[in-house]
Amino acid sequence: YQQIARAKITRQRILPLMRSMADSLETFVVLDLPFHQQERIGAVLALKQRLDNPGLSVSARFRLLLAAYQIEQRYGDTVEAWRGPLSLEGEEVSVEYLRLGRAALFYQSLDRERSGYWDTVQQDWVALDTHYNRSLSRAMRVARNESAPQLLELPLQYTGDGL
């Protein structure tokens, strides 16, 4: 009887904790570098709905939560390049993005003439000097596995927060 009572108390405590963890994950995604935003926020919202499903066991809900955290964690360990739209100065431009873990997010226009990076302090895109265009283009080829890894000159933003 005591084990059942303890299990009920644990369940009553763990569910709010899991909701809080899902809320924290949502906040993290919103404040993170803006890559795959709709997909990532949609995944967190779907997770929150599934966590509220009374038909799922606590362990199943916890597995879903851990899987979502693992997906987000992997973004910090990977390099990725992809094409997509970007609104620059009121104009919709097709660009190629380059994400270096969670350290940097770059874009380059498909004609390779304009490049920039996401400034985490300003929360906006900042144009790069044109002398970075070639290095950024090479880095994107490396990210797509079209070129062997190599040392590249790319700017990284220092936020001064000591992290």
Distance, in Å, from the CA atom of 45 to the CA atom of 156, rounded to the nearest integer, reads: 31
Distance, in Å, from the CA atom of 74 to the CA atom of 144, rounded to the nearest integer, reads: 17
Chain-wide mean pLDDT for the chain? 90
**Confidence at 159, pLDDT banded by 50, 70, 90:** low
- The reported pLDDT for the residue numbered 163 is 44
Which distant-in-sequence residues (6+ apart) come within 8 Å of 94 by Cβ? 83, 84, 85, 86, 109, 110
Q: What spatial distance separates the first Cα and last Cα of the chain, rounded to whole Å?
A: 49
Query: What are the tens digits of pLDDT across the range 35-58?
Result: 999 999 999 999 999 999 989 998
Percent of the residues in the chain that have a pLDDT greater than 90, as a whole number: 75
Instruction: Work out the angle between the directed axes of helices 37-51 and 58-75 (0-180°, nearest 10).
Output: 170
Mean pLDDT of all residues in 5-16 = 74
Name the range with the highest mean pLDDT among 61-70, 88-97, 140-149: 61-70
Antiparallel, parallel or unpaired: β 124-127 and 104-109: unpaired
Distance, in Å, from the CA atom of 26 to the CA atom of 51, rounded to the nearest integer, reads: 14
